Amino acid sequence: MSSRLACALLALIALGSSGCEELEYVDPATVELSVSSAASGKQLVRRCNYIPVLLGSTVRFSYHVEGDMVAHLEITRENIKVSFEDSSGWLGAFGAPSSLFAESFSLDDPEPPPGLAASLSSGCEPSSDWPDR
């Protein structure tokens, strides 16, 4: 009985100490923007970002896609929006509520710019030198 108790305590301590190293209480959700060539599949943009956790916070980046085309990414706690622009003007946009990305979720751009494929997906790992622009 006492040896079982000792084993249980040891297991609990081991579990607790290993867990402490990995605990991350804020645990922000993440989203990856991926833009690639529809024909070749070549990756043009692949960036992982945090979804902010505070009311009013915003993450906003612009990424060069190809030529003079730029992808604008705006992430709030409420929504994620991607829009494309080049010298001729706006080429389209897509997005989804941020809450969807708290779980495993992926969204393809239903109407991407001609020749491209774009998607948003959850569960990426920001690089150690995030935002790595």
User: Using CB under 8 A as the criterion, which residues of the chain lie in contact with other proteins when the complex forms?
Assistant: 20, 23-28, 50, 52-61, 77-78, 130-131
Rounded to an integer, what distance in angstroms lies between the CA atom of residue 79 and that of residue 133? Answer: 22
Closest distance to other proteins from the beta carbon of 61 (Å): 8
Nearer to other proteins, 61 or 105 (CB): 61
Closer to other proteins by Cβ: residue 7 or 53: 53
CB of 13 to other proteins, least distance (A): 13
Q: Minimal distance in Å, beta carbon 70 to other proteins?
A: 16
- By C-beta, is 50 or 105 nearer to other proteins? 50
DSSP string, the chain: -HHHHHHHHHHHHHHHHHHHHH--SS---EEEEEEEETTT--EEEEEEEEPP-STT-EEEEEEEEETTEEEEEEEESSEEEEEEEETTEEEEEEEEEGGGGGSS-EEE-SSPSTTEEEEEEE-----TTTT--
- CA atoms of 59 and 52, how far apart (whole Å): 7
- Smallest gap from residue 7 Cβ to other proteins (A): 24
Q: Closest CB to other proteins among 31 and 77?
A: 77
